[in-house]
């Protein structure tokens, strides 16, 4: 009677490739002020100033005080708002209009990643297509007009930059 020994199970096998954890999609992540500056292309000191003056406050964590663990944390929608503010500033929109747009968008940070167009007037209205935007503008009784923001290219660029940053962060963490 020959006794065959069972192969030993090993938990570590260098030949088996284990999938690396994938970074969270941009909409589900929180970004530090520095990361938000990298993604939105708004200078860090501008973001810091806007937060301190309550012009554009992060929705995840306000970061009161100083020291580690007290960073300001921005949602992906906040990063979109930062970029919108920067774009409007570059287009020489008046400070009064800029403040009004940013203030009105503050309650919609979670919805911005899904919108393609945003109409800022007396109310905020979002559209996922040109047809929806046209329907909003043709609505009976619509008398006011505001600022129309085309977020298609803006969100595409921000999404690419956020993914590149996440990939770089995960590569940095995987190095011994």
Give the pLDDT score at 106. Answer: 80
Is pTM, for the whole model, over 0.75?
Answer: no
What residues of the chain score a pLDDT lower than 70? Answer: 1-28, 61-70, 143-145, 172-176
Give the pLDDT score at 21. Answer: 44
Which of helix, strand or coil describes residue 136? Answer: helix
In whole angstroms, what is the distance from residue 60 CA to residue 81 CA? Answer: 14
Query: What secondary structure does DSSP assign to 94-133, as a single string?
Result: -HHHHHHHHHHHGGGTTTGGG-SEEEESSSEEEESSHHHH
In whole angstroms, what is the distance from residue 79 CA to residue 63 CA? Answer: 16
The domains found in the chain, sorted by start residue, are 26-171 (1.10.1660.10)
Give the pLDDT score at 166. Answer: 82
Give the pLDDT score at 129. Answer: 84
Give the pLDDT score at 9. Answer: 44
Q: Do residues 91 and 112 touch, judged by C-beta distance below 8 A? A: no
Q: What is the pLDDT of residues 130-140, one digit of tens each?
A: 888 888 888 88
Q: What is the pLDDT of residues 4-38, one digit of tens each?
A: 555 554 444 455 454 444 445 555 678 888 999 99
């Amino acid at each position: 009677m020959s006794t065959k020994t069972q192969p030993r199970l090993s938990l570590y096998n260098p030949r088996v490739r284990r999938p690396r954890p994938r970074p969270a999609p941009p909409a589900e992540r929180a970004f530090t002020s520095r990361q938000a500056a990298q993604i939105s292309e708004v200078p860090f000191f501008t973001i810091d100033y806007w937060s301190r003056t309550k012009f554009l406050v992060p929705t995840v964590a306000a970061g009161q005080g100083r020291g580690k663990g007290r960073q300001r944390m921005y949602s992906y929608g906040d990063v979109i708002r930062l970029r919108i503010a920067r774009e409007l500033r570059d287009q020489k929109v008046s400070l009064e209009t800029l403040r009004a747009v940013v203030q009105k968008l503050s309650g919609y940070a979670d919805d911005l990643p899904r919108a393609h167009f945003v109409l800022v007037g007396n109310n905020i209205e979002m559209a996922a297509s040109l047809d929806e935007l046209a329907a909003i503008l043709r609505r009976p009784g619509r008398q006011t007009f505001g600022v129309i923001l085309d977020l298609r290219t803006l969100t595409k660029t921000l999404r690419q930059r956020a993914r590149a940053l996440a990939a770089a962060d995960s590569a940095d963490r995987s190095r011994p």
